[in-house]
Structure 1
Amino acid sequence: MFEKVLIANRGEIALRIHRACREMGIRTVAVHSQADENAMHVRLADEAICIGPPSATHSYLNIPAIVSAAEISGADAIHPGYGFLSENANFAEIVGDHGITFIGPKPEHIRVMGDKIEAKRTARSLGIPCVPGSEGELTTAADALATAKKIGYPVLIKAASGGGGRGMKVARSESELEQAYSTARAEAKAAFGDDAVYMEKYLDKPRHIEIQVMCDSHGNVVHLGERDCSLQRRHQKVLEESPSPALNDRDRTKIGGIVSDAMKKLGYLGVGTVEFLYEDGEFYFIEMNTRLQVEHPVTEMITGIDIVREQIRIAAGLPMENSQQDIVFQGHAIECRINAEDPVTFSPTPGKITEYHPPGGLNVRVDSALYAGYSVPPNYDSLIAKLVVHGKTRNACLMRLRRALEEFVVGGVSTTIPLHARLIQNPGFIDGVYHIHWLEEFLAKKE
């Protein structure tokens, strides 16, 4: 087992990793920017090293600084968390070349799944169902027109690199396609430095369903069920739950088995999430995230499995502690992402936290690095807390979540807590009949 792990991240996920390490008897090293010198994980870690100014480019994305910090501190492994360098294959290779273990997948799998076109091609070869679309990159507008005619409108033009909704345009007719194609390429080039795009059939009202998988170096593969991440704004997840209200046991077992078999064929190592659109009883692969997910606590709540602990054990070469037969899904869990944002305009609201009182009680979990007196910096993502609640049934979970949101106090900055309070009382959400466009329709009605 590792003696010392460097945490190459910040905020709640850095604190989450620190806690898992401490419970395993592993010492931690926190690297941080100048803006995060008073962050909670920095205060709690065994060692802390400043790696640069507030800009993420010069700190959390500064590979030489992070690797140097690992060497100086004597860390034998680096955990990248999510975001930043977590899906950077070059970083994973460099870490390995310096004799340090990268707590994550093999670089070649990060690289394959990071290219959306190659990921889709690989998924098909592994027997994973995919959305009908182009075989590869669309190099001309004529290619786009021919492909759209073949699969039928509406269609979606998507950037081959990156994500988050950038470089993604819908065309509902031939008259809209050329503009959508050129705009998507321009956005992709500006956002990711790569103007490659491809095409998929556009599904009108699908769910966004993802399957959590874990694979060790001993040939063992398990899936931990699904998470429903359909509540999104501008392609960014806002609330996740498990199990999905849209799936039955047969569908859950079927897609879990398909993903597990595929990962075994691929020789995947570590933790990963395979994401699908689900409509009319059919699953369609969209991408694979080769890292820990923001919403991993939802799965931990219904399985009782510490995913970060397993991630570290797998990287250390140990076999997983559970086989597929050992995994039992119990009850229902929902996660609300709490952001330092205006709940109406969604403008970021960095600033000093004057009050902080997280909710408690049975089966209520808050993952956050906040404390009274802490200043939320303006330099990074606005996520400041994750409220995760578990109940024996979905209804019990909703009632507990409503109570927990009422208790949650964050003073000094505006947050999205009021949005979640409204959201979970909406009949459409209560009935579980939402889809990936539902939240934006809900918000539009409130404006």
Structure 2
Amino acid sequence: MAELISKTELCAVPNFLPPDFERRLNRIFGSRPVGKFVRVLDLSGEIGSRTDNLEEDKIPVNKDLVREVVATGEIIFETQYPLGPKIPIRFINYPVKRFNQNKVHGVVQVGTSLEFVRESMRNLVMVFLVLGPSLLMAAALVGFFLAGKAFKPIREIARTTRHITVNNLDERITVPVAHDDIGQLAVTINGMLDRLSLSFQKTAQFTADASHELRTPLTIMQGEIEIALRGERSVEEYIDTLGSSLEEAERMSRIVNDLLLLSKSDMGQEAMQHDPVDLEILIEGLLSPFKLMAEEQQIELSSSLSEVDMVSGDQLKLRQLLVNLLTNAIRYTSAGGRVNLTLKNIDSGVEIAVADTGIGIPAADIPRIFDRFYRADKARSRQYGGSGLGLSIVKSIVNSHKGTIKVDSIVGEGSVFKVVLPSVNELSEVEINEK
């Protein structure tokens, strides 16, 4: 406002008081600004023009401040208390310049009372004093209600979790309808309980199977020894009994060693070598004893070995993998059958395939054949021997070498076990990408 007035005809002659000053303000602003005081001062601080609501002597002019505005040409604000210490009036002192000149020809003062501001603040304080406690109480009640509603799912999760034990791992937490963070927490805990339940089931099944596998040779040994002690036996009979007991003891030793191997693998405590391994040379060194084993059972063992890339791994464990696969293939193939071992490069690494024309595996049992002590046909499996841990060890070795294993089988026609191991080049590319 001060700037606009300073550039109008009202300031043309600062020492002259126009008789229609109010009318001219109305023409400029549309109406006189309510609560505003306007006056035009000359260079010495004398009043040239003013609004009717500003009595000449009621609000004195600070002539020192006017001279400072004239000297500096800057806008200066001031607060006066002419009507008492509780009624402040705020003024802006604006220099009047004409014709784009820097010279100051006068000063426009526009002021307004700050009483309404103080009154508004007093009213606001009263409102807060009157309504504040009620609002705080209402906010506390609403907050308590909302907090209780928000924490109810958490309390339900805590209550359900406290009641879940080893004996009722099938119990689950109710998932809230809202898909929020608490819902995600409930889903996560239920997933953890699913894994725990499956782990406990496998542990219980493993314990039962291990007990059974160890009890069988012990029962045989106990029976043979009891029979031998019932009466006098010939030396040959004692030798047969001791030989049979030794076989059962060796069987138990193999089971215990296999269990120890799997346990170390599960806990990550098994020592692993990572050396370049030539699978072609490794397989050629194994074929001779297995060909003799196959000939004894009237089984044809053949091989097709291509020159392949080196793989990075533990040679002893890879040898055990091959031994277990070939032993299984020969064990479950009848006389007159065939077992074939192939080795070749494929896009994803090096593939080892062991195919047989044996009894085959039912499709429903294929997903579980790598479980410990699992046998598709328990009666026939005991007939063929074995501890039921061979394929579990194979799977563990494949995983430790970052490989994959796949089984294709048809009952009565045979099975094909395919192991794919990453080559040294493949592993190097993966390590570079991970970095």
| TM-score, normalising length: structure 1 | 0.23
Q: Which has the higher helix share?
A: 2
Bigger Cα Rg: 2
TM-score normalized with structure 2 length? 0.23
Larger strand fraction of residues: 1
